[in-house]
Structures are given as C-alpha cells and as structure tokens.
Copies of this chain bind each other. A is one copy, B any other.
Amino acid sequence: MATLPQEIPEDGVELGVLADLAGYHLRRASGAFAADFVRALDGTGMRQVLFAILSVVAANPDMNQGAVGRALGIQRANMVSLINELVDAALVERRVSPDDRRAFALRLSVAGQAKLDDCIARIHEHEEAMLSDLAAPDRAQLIALLSRIEAKERS
C-alpha cells in the first residue's frame, strides 16, 4: 500500500483521511459541476432535475411519470410537482395513457424540444469548461468508472 503525498488544498490546510476517500472527491467534484451547471443554465428557467426529465422524456416518448422518475432515481411523490412545472411551462404535454387510465403519457412540446436543444448547447459548453484539463480518453474513462459505481446503487 503506497502512501500518497498529503494533498494541501488552501493555505496549507490538510484534509486528513478525506484526501484519499473517493466518496469525498466525488462529492466535491459533483458539487463543482453542479454549481457551474447552474451558471450555464442561468436564464433558461431549467434546473438539473428538470433538464434530466426533459432528456428522458425526449428519448422515450409517451413514457409515464413513474418510469421517468425510476430511471432518474426520483421518488414518485417528488415527480408530481416537477412534471407540473414542466407542463405549466408548456414544455411537456401530459395526456391520459390509452393503455392505462391511471397513468399519464408524457411528451415534449415543440417548445420543450427547443428548450432542450438550447440547454444541450449550453451544457456542452459547460462540460467542455469543466473537463478542459482532461483529454478525450480520460473523459471516456471517467464516465466508465462512474458508471461502474452507479451500478452499485441499491435501494
């Protein structure tokens, strides 16, 4: 077990055990990404969760709320107001599913698709800025490593 040289972040402050914990660095990197994401989408009225929902609905037309939420790790109860926001903003169309009258079939409106496209362009710039220190193979490996961790998720 090789001992890593202690990382010294600001003003010679040491992090202690944190410095070698993947969970800590995940939290900080994810936070940095999220903060820049907010800036990237400033003025669009979109947030991380709303964008994620638009993306999944666009890729799976007529999917219902519960399934979208499950794909994104969002509780049913919390999906309600999120979908309401998107419907109120006329970005998502919600119709009673012909297959199951309990469920709603969700689709993007034309405005929703336009909004999604706008956000994607902004997010690509944001990703480029956040990953500018990583070469293409590093970026691919980062996503591969993160995907293997995501698979460890249990209820």
Contact = CB atoms under 8 A, between A and B. Distances in A.
Interface of A: 7, 9-11, 13-18, 20-37, 48, 52, 55-56, 58-60, 63, 67-68, 70-71, 73, 120, 123, 126-127, 129-134, 138-139, 141-143, 145-154
24 contacts: A11-B67, A13-B56, A13-B71, A14-B56, A14-B60, A21-B123, A21-B127, A23-B123, A23-B127, A23-B130, A25-B147, A26-B26, A26-B33, A27-B30, A27-B48, A29-B147, A31-B153, A32-B149, A36-B152, A129-B152, A130-B149, A131-B149, A133-B151, A134-B145
B127 A148 contact: no
Nearest to A117: B17
Contacts of A139: 22
A152 B130 contact: yes
Given A26-B26, A27-B48, A134-B149, 6 more contacts: A9-B71, A22-B146, A23-B37, A23-B123, A29-B30, A134-B148
Contacts of A18: 52, 55-56
